[in-house]
Amino acid sequence: MPEVRRSIAITIDDTEIDAYEGESILQAARRFGIKIPSMCYLEGLSVWGACRICVVEVAGQHQPRPACATLVVEDMEVRTNTARLQSHRRTILELLFAEGNHVCAVCVSNGNCELQDRAVEAGMDHVRFDYRNPLRPVDATHPKYVFDPNRCIVCTRCVRVCDEIEGAHVWDVASRGHQAHLVTELGQPWGRSSSCTWCGKCVASCPTGALFYQGSAVGESVHAPDLVARLVAARRDHEWFPPVESPTSPNEQNGDDR
């Protein structure tokens, strides 16, 4: 039986809501339909708190706080969309666009990309920083999937889903700082990895076009970020809902009128 959770009254953007004890600002906001943009957060996975897109202002605190990793406290007053936050989010998105090689026009995730969507929401119509244009070879050695690090924002959703949900821990982050990048096993091509179970959860969880199915053309990649939350809920509550749409294979969806 689900336990009864204590309610905590907080205010988000002048709306009073009853959050649950132990819940983050982001979780509470989403339950009440208040949109706070995020990137590295994925319901069902551990909190990473690194993209800093979900920063909000909490009354009494000088520094903005990540909504995904800040637990609600009685009488907390949160603002999610001040001019300062909008400006910070836009700058962070510019940093991400300048860091990799995000060429939306030729991307499998064009039109289905969280990074692209966040940029639109943030009003980012250009990037003021110099593009870094790193050289990052694509790994297409896996029979079923492709990893294009040019589009990777190191949100580690794939690392976490592979470790926490699938239990294979194929992925991890190697190096550090601006050289931090994803690796499978000891950095050999993904296709040679013996621990990959071909489950596709990493592809489903990827917010951008960094992970996709072999054979996907521009705009064809479909992610299913809610797959993880559904899996976690199913395991916890032993209630299995049929997926609303196919969570994995985009090929089955090619007939869709998009």
Partner 1 sequence: MAEALHPSGDDRFAVLDKHLKRTHHAQDQLIETLHVAQEVFGYLSDDILMYVARALLLPPSMVLGVATFYHLFNFEAQGEHACSVCTGTACFVKGADAIVAAVRDGYAVAPGATSEDGFLTLRTARCLGSCGLAPVVVIDGNVAGHQDARSTLELIRAQARIPEEVN
Partner 2 sequence: MTEKTRLATVWLGGCSGCHMSFLDMDEFLFDLADRVDVVYSPLADIKEFPDGVDLTLVEGAVANDDNLELARLLRARSTTVVSFGDCAVTGNVTAMRNPLGDPQAILRRVYVDKVDRDGAIPDDRPVVPALLPRVLPLHQVIDVDVYLPGCPPPAARIRDAVVGILDGTLPRERGEGIRFG
Partner 3 sequence: MATPIDLHEVAERELEDQARYPWRIKACGSTACQSAGAGASISTLESEVVAVGLSDSVRVMSTGCMGLCSRGPLVRVLRRGGEETMYQSVDRDVAVDIVGAVAGRGEVADANRIDRHIPFFTRQHRVVLANAGIIDPDRLASAVAHGAYSALEKAITTMTPDQVVEAIKASGLRGRGGAGYPVGAKWSLLAGASSDQKYVIANGDEGDPGAYMDRTVMEDDPHRVIEGLAIAAYATGATRGYIYVRAEYPKAVERLDRAIRAARRSRLLGRKVLGSDFDFEVQVRIGAGAFVCGEETALIASIEGRRGNPRLRPPYPTESGLFGMPSMINNVETLANIPAIVSKGANWFSSIGTDRSTGTKVFALAGDLTNTGLIEVPMGISLREIVEDMGGGVPDGKVFKAAQTGGPSGGCIPTQFMDTSVDYESLRELGSIMGSGGLIVMDEDTSMPEVARFFMEFCMDESCGKCVPCRAGTVQLHGLLDRICSGEGRPGDLGLLEELCTVVRETSLCGLGQSAPNPVVSTLHYFRDEYESLLQEAAHA
Q: Residue 229 binds which entry of partner 3, partner 2, partner 1, none, with Cβ cut-offs from 5 to 8 Å by kind?
A: none
Largest CA distance in the chain: 54
CB of 84 vs partner 2, minimal distance in Å: 17
Which listed range, 7-15, 117-125, 173-181, 247-255, lies at the site for partner 1 (CB under 8 A)?
173-181
- Selection from partner 3, partner 2, partner 1, none that 204 binds (CB < 5 to 8 A by kind) is none
- Per CB under 8 A, contacts with partner 3 among 157-186 are 173, 175-180
Give whichever of 7 and 86 is closer to partner 2, judged by the CB atom: 86
- List the one residue from 154, 162, 165, 227 that touches partner 3 (CB under 8 A): 154
Residue 171 binds which of partner 2, partner 1, partner 3, none (CB < 5-8 A, kind-dependent): partner 1
Choose among partner 1, partner 2, partner 3, none what residue 136 binds, the Cβ cut-off being 5 to 8 Å by kind.
Answer: partner 2
173, 217, 229, 234: residue in contact with partner 1 (rule CB under 8 A): 173
- Conformation bin of residue 154: beta by default, left when phi > 0, alpha when psi is -120 to 50: left
